[in-house]
Amino acid sequence: MASATSSTVDAEPHGAGVHLPDTAQDLVKILITGPFGVGKTTLIRSVSEIRPLHTEEHLSEASARVDDLAGVRDKSTTTVAIDFGRISLPGGIVLYLFGTPGQERFRALWDDIAHGALGALVLVDARRIDASFDVLGLVEESGLPYAVAFNTFPDAPRHHTPEQLRAALDLEATTPMVRCDARETDSSVDALLALVQHLIDHHPPEPR
């Protein structure tokens, strides 16, 4: 099994640094979730303007017996508790990004990490769509508004149309669905913007 949890921070954050910009008006907690190995940690790392917090542990031979490595064979580490990052968007919106662990054995942490979030970005791997069903079920059960980002892995099937992908996930017509390369900042920001626009259009905050 993995050794005791350690937290790490990345050396090079994107953007301004630790301090909130003066223009910050709306501080929003967003959940970044999805199945094992789909790119949650990668996405938070690629967009965070502060040094992101990660809790990565090496996958060991022992954990290989419990962690389903199908489709993610090159993976050497996994999130065992949480990812955290922050990004300021135009319009004074600041997103606090909370990433969940992807593995079922860390399911007990999910509700606590999701508590207080206004919305979720659900990452989906087109090579393993079925692997996302459990997480989508959790998000829907929690009532969180969400957007779906299909991460672009090189060996993912290309022949699916957006309509087929939407049908495979049984998404409502209003649920945003975008393609995303979690390694790319612009692509990841676009996915977050799709979620934020959805929240603004369909789930405006209660008046204070």
Ligand X SMILES: Nc1nc2c(ncn2[C@@H]2O[C@H](COP(=O)(O)OP(=O)(O)OP(=O)(O)O)[C@@H](O)[C@H]2O)c(=O)[nH]1
- Chain residues in the site for ligand X (CB under 6 A): 34, 36-42, 75, 78-79, 101-102, 151-154, 181-183
Q: Evaluate whether 36 touches 131 at the Cβ level (below 8 Å).
A: yes
Question: What is the closest distance, in whole angstroms, from the C-beta atom of residue 24 to ligand X in the complex?
Answer: 27
Q: Should residue 175 be labelled a site residue for Mg ion when binding is judged by CB under 5 A? A: no
Of the pair 90, 154, the CB lying nearest ligand X is at 154
Q: How far is the CB of 170 from ligand X (least distance, A)?
A: 22
Cβ atoms of residues 43 and 180 within 8 Å: yes
Return the one option of Mg ion, ligand X, none that residue 183 interacts with (CB less than 5 to 8 A, by type): ligand X
Which of 46, 93 has the CB closer to ligand X? 46
Window 78-97: residues binding Mg ion (CB under 5 A):
79
End-to-end CA distance of the chain: 47
Closest CA to 192 of 10, 30, 84: 30
CA distance 58 to 73: 13
41 binds Mg ion (CB under 5 A): yes
**Which residue pairs, CB below 8 angstroms and at least 24 apart, start in 157-162?**
157/126, 157/127, 160/126
Q: How far is the CB of 79 from Mg ion (least distance, A)?
A: 3
Amino acid (one-letter) located at 160: H
Task: Categorise residue 135: left if φ over 0, alpha if ψ from -120 to 50, beta otherwise.
Answer: alpha
Using the minimum distance from each CB to Mg ion, give the nearer residue, 85 or 119: 85
Largest alpha-carbon pair distance within the chain?
52
Q: For ligand X, which residue has the nearest CB?
A: 102
Give the pair of three-digit tokens for residue 95.
């997103």
> Which of Mg ion, ligand X, none does residue 86 bind (CB under 5 to 8 Å by kind)?
none
Pairwise CA distance, residues 12 & 173, whole Å: 38
Nearer to Mg ion, 53 or 144 (CB): 53
- The residue among 38 and 136 lying less far from ligand X, judged by its C-beta, is 38
Please, what is the minimum distance in Å from the beta carbon of residue 151 to ligand X?
4
Residues found near Mg ion in the complex (CB under 5 A)? 40-41, 79
